[in-house]
Amino acid sequence: MSNTTESVGIAVGKTGAYGGAATAAVSGLTLSEIGVMVGIVVAVLGLLLGQFWSWRRDRREEREMEARMHHKYGTGWGEP
């Protein structure tokens, strides 16, 4: 029982310490600094999502090309 109680106390203490550190860091920022950070996050997310959607489009176009070639030339169109 005491081991569980100690674990809970440690977890609560760590959470409070990290929360206090985060609050201190954020409260020291100006509005323009927060805006810059949000802009950076949005830019990075936009880059990653753009790459993901391009990858999906490439896969979709490849499947479409395979289907068109099979329809036009039959099943052995890519074999030498």
- DSSP states of 2-42 as a string? HHHHHHHHHHHHHHHHHHHHHHHHHHTS-HHHHHHHHHHHH
Instruction: State how many domains the chain has.
Output: 1
Structural domain span for residue 51: 2-73
Token reading at 31: 């509005």
**pLDDT over 70 percentage in the chain:** 90
pLDDT tier at 80, thresholds 50, 70, 90: low
> 79 lies in a domain?
no
Q: What is the pLDDT of residues 13-49, one digit of tens each?
A: 888 888 877 887 777 778 888 889 899 999 999 999 9
> 60 lies in a domain?
yes
Give the N- to C-terminal CA distance of the chain in Å, as an integer: 72
Kindly state the average pLDDT of the residues 56-68: 92
